[in-house]
């Protein structure tokens, strides 16, 4: 094999690998729009309910511990984490315990292509239950029951 052939193969391999990353990277969330990755817009539009005192506590905990990825109002962040105000996270499909376990153990990526959610430090089960009360209020206000 000539030196030129080796270089050509190396370049082709690099292009193939780079292209793959480009495609998987830009596919972002399977359910999101194709340009979601490059947009700062929240992934879903969330109507805001009036919150009870308990749900307001949950909101503040959510903003401290979860919003960095799931975004304000759990509307989802392109390229980072899915909206939790979303049909697949309705109580029938993801019971309250799924939230407690997600915070405690993290989540292996399965519904989307964002990658795994790490375990979240510094949040107790009782605090996650307040967060769930808040998320459920958001879900109900947006027709997810
Ligand atoms: C570092 C980013 C990050 C943080 C912080 C984060 N999440 Fe997640 N979360 C993700 C990603 C990414 C997924 C999607 C995994 C998948 O593909 O299904 C996810 C999924 C979930 C799910 C779905 C679990 C399942 O069983 O499918 C729940 C519930 C959840 N997160 C709750 C929370 C709560 C509550 C907090 C705050 C205590 C939180 N997340 C903080 C990134 C994050």
Q: Which pLDDT does position 19 carry in this prediction?
A: 45
Rounded to 5 degrees, φ, ψ at 59 are -60, -45
Q: Is 83 in the pocket of ligand 1 (CB under 6 A)?
A: no
**For residues 77 and 71, is the Cβ–Cβ distance under 8 A?**
yes
How far from the centroid of its chain's Cα atoms is residue 124's Cα?
20
Q: How far is the CA of 102 from the centre of ligand 1 (A)?
A: 6
Rounded distance from Cα 109 to ligand 1 centre (Å): 9
* Residue 87 in this model has a pLDDT that exceeds 70: yes
pLDDT of amino acid 10: 57
State the average pLDDT over residues 76-96. 97
Q: What is the mean pLDDT of residues 73-97?
A: 97
| pLDDT recorded at residue 41 | 77
Average pLDDT, the chain: 84
CA–CA separation, 70 and 77 (whole Å): 6
């Amino acid at each position: 094999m000539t030196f030129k052939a080796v270089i050509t193969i190396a370049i082709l391999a690099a292009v193939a690998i780079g292209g793959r990353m480009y495609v998987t990277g830009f596919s972002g969330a399977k359910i999101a729009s194709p340009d979601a990755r490059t947009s700062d817009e929240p992934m879903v539009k969330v109507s805001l309910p009036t919150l009870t005192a308990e749900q307001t506590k949950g909101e503040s905990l959510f903003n401290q511990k979860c919003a960095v990825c799931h975004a304000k109002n759990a509307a989802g962040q392109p390229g980072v984490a899915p909206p939790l105000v979303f049909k697949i996270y309705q109580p029938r499909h993801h019971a309250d315990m799924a939230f407690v376990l997600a915070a405690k153990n993290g989540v292996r990526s399965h519904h989307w292509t964002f990658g795994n959610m790490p375990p979240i430090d510094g949040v107790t089960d009782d605090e996650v239950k307040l967060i769930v009360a808040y998320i459920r209020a958001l879900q109900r206000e947006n027709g997810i029951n």
